[in-house]
Amino acid sequence: MNAMQLLRAKNQIVGSLLPGKVAAESVDLFLSPRKYPLKPWEEQAELTAQRVSFGDSYGEPLSALKWPGGDKRILLMHGWESRATQMSRIAESLSQQGYEVIAIDAPRHGYSRGNKTSPVEFARAIHAAHLELGPFSAAVGHSMGCAGLAIAREFGVMIPRYVLISSPANMLDTLEGFAGFIGLPDRSTQLFIEGVGSRVGRPADEIDVGTLLAAELAEDEPQVLLIHAPDDIEVPFEASQRIQDKLTNAQLWQAPRLGHRRIIRDPEVIAVIRDYLLGGEEQFQPVQATTAEP
């Protein structure tokens, strides 16, 4: 029996007897993403970009990679248990087209500090980058980074064009999936979801990517390209379909056989992102930074 099987067995048994205890432990586990060693190609990415610090408006030292370019800037936001270097293939392609590209390390990821993190903390870091390193003409997010970009609109980060790769539809789905993965019984699952909402500062069902991107928060709904692999087992393809259903300016592009993580390094996917962001330059006017408080 491996470590994950043992964890599931333990959660099933103890969770039936002490649901609150197991739920609290699971909240800590979820909000404490693991860090992995850099891969060789990521080490090379560090050499092609400039490492910069920001976070004065966030209150915690944060880090980002910057690829040089022109006046227009593009923001890249990685996913859960990832980091800026993992977005480097996309960054290098866009930099070659003349854009300045900023890929940030979310709190408790990469070189950024932080004892906790969540999609809301991702959004606060995006807001800090918007104020100190922006404004941004477009943004590219992967997985949980997409949720962070959507939440950041509530903080005043109104970016006119987004590419969302393997995006969850809402946090409730993500938490239910995580609870199932680690084997939480029903009562522990309910308490776990409530516990994450309490720690994050808002209920999970209120963090809905499509709703947050919709026009109610701004005069004009942003342009959105959704990219998702039908074989993604971490975030199902239907999540992007549900986001698209809530938007009027969204396109959905299928990326077959690329799963959840390989998708951000695939040459065809990167070409699709580049072509989408290069099109319609008249829509690429950056939104000026705002001092709206998160």
pLDDT value at position 216? Answer: 62
- Which residues of the chain fall below pLDDT 50? 281-294
What's the rounded Cα separation, in Å, for the pair 122 and 142?
Answer: 12
What's the rounded Cα separation, in Å, for the pair 155 and 56?
Answer: 16
Buried b (16+ CB within 10 A) or exposed e, 260-271: bbebbebeebbe
| Angle subtended by helix axes 171-181 and 19-30, to nearest 10 | 110
pLDDT in tens, 174-189: 999 999 999 999 999 9
Check: CB of residue 275 under 8 Å from CB of residue 241. Answer: no
pLDDT value at position 281? Answer: 44
pLDDT value at position 291? Answer: 44
Considering the chain, what is the average pLDDT of its residues? 90
What's the rounded Cα separation, in Å, for the pair 113 and 100?
Answer: 24
pLDDT value at position 217? Answer: 58
Segments making up each domain of the chain, as ranges: 1-26+171-206, 55-169+208-280
Domain 55-169+208-280 homologous superfamily, CATH: Alpha/Beta hydrolase fold, catalytic domain (3.40.50.1820)
Check: CB of residue 98 under 8 Å from CB of residue 137. Answer: no
Residue 92: CA count within 13 A, CB half-sphere: 17
Residue 161: closest CA among 33, 67, 249, 31: 249
Quote the Cα angle for 200-203-208, to 5°. 100
Residue 245: closest CA among 209, 287, 278: 209
What's the rounded Cα separation, in Å, for the pair 273 and 12?
Answer: 43
pLDDT value at position 96? Answer: 93
Which residue intervals of 18-101 are DSSP H helices? 19-30, 40-48, 88-96
pLDDT in tens, 123-165: 999 999 999 999 999 999 999 999 999 999 999 999 999 999 9
